[in-house]
Amino acid sequence: MINFIGAIVIGLVIGLIGGFMLRSKQPNAIWLAPVLAVGGSLVASVLALAFGDRRDYGWKEPILQVVLAGVGVAIVAYLANRRSAGTSVDSTAGSA
């Protein structure tokens, strides 16, 4: 149980930091980054349980939680860059 509570806390902290950093590029990053980060850290907890990490919250599980929470924030950053690149207008497209 403590693993999942720790996963939620780690995901929220990383997600909020990433959301505040990305909010100028992606308006909905303030809620999307924490949601994906918490999801990633919960997946890390489930993976740790599936692969036999039955000890009291060792060092491998939090590292995996941080990495997968970071992946969630990176997905939001990718979506923000993709969205801004898709809306830009190429000024040389019509001059041939």
pLDDT along the chain (96 residues), means of 10: 84 92 83 93 88 71 91 90 66 51
| Model pLDDT, residue 59 | 78
In a domain, 90, yes or no: no
Could you tell me the residue range of the domain that residue 28 belongs to?
2-82
In a domain, 14, yes or no: yes
In a domain, 21, yes or no: yes
Three-state SS letters, the chain: CHHHHHHHHHHHHHHHHHHHHHCCCCCCHHHHHHHHHHHHHHHHHHHHHHCCCCCCCCCHHHHHHHHHHHHHHHHHHHHHHHHHHHHCCCCCCCCC
Query: CA-CA distance, 96 to 93, in Å (whole number)?
Result: 8
Cα 88 to Cα 40, 57, 80: the distances in Å are: 31, 46, 13
In a domain, 95, yes or no: no
In a domain, 92, yes or no: no
- For the chain, the domain total comes to 1
Entry pTM: 0.78
In a domain, 87, yes or no: no
Which residue in the block uniquely carries the two structure tokens 């950093």?
21
Query: CA-CA distance, 7 to 1, in Å (whole number)?
Result: 10
| Model pLDDT, residue 49 | 82
In a domain, 44, yes or no: yes
In a domain, 37, yes or no: yes
| Contact partners, residue 20, CB within 8 Å, separation at least 6 | 30
